[in-house]
Amino acid sequence: MVDHAIELLTRAGCSVCERAAEQLAELAGELGFTLAVTDVDAAAAGGNAALRAEYGDRLPVVLLDGAEHSYWEVDEPRLRADLASAQ
């Protein structure tokens, strides 16, 4: 079994980001991936401006194993298929 990591790039006050985080948290339990949530503005304030520069206009962004998977929403059918094919 392959361990996958999902990172959700978000921004404080983003209701779409909050819904995506809730959806991914539910899916993590079912599908067995690890989930990390990163606020791009907080990361930039901490010295890592690259995430905000690259993804800040498309939030939320879902990264699967470090690669962009979807943005503005969780593409659940595609995510399920990609996770299943990599098993």
pLDDT tens digits along 38-72: 999 999 999 999 999 999 899 999 999 999 999 99
pLDDT of residue 37: 97
Instruction: Identify the CATH assignment for 5-85 out of 3.40.30.10, 3.30.830.10, 3.90.1150.10, 3.30.413.10.
Output: 3.40.30.10
The residues near 6 (Cβ < 8 Å, ≥ 6 apart) are 24, 28, 33, 34, 35, 36, 62, 63, 64, 69
**1 pLDDT above the threshold of 70:** no
**87 pLDDT above the threshold of 90:** no
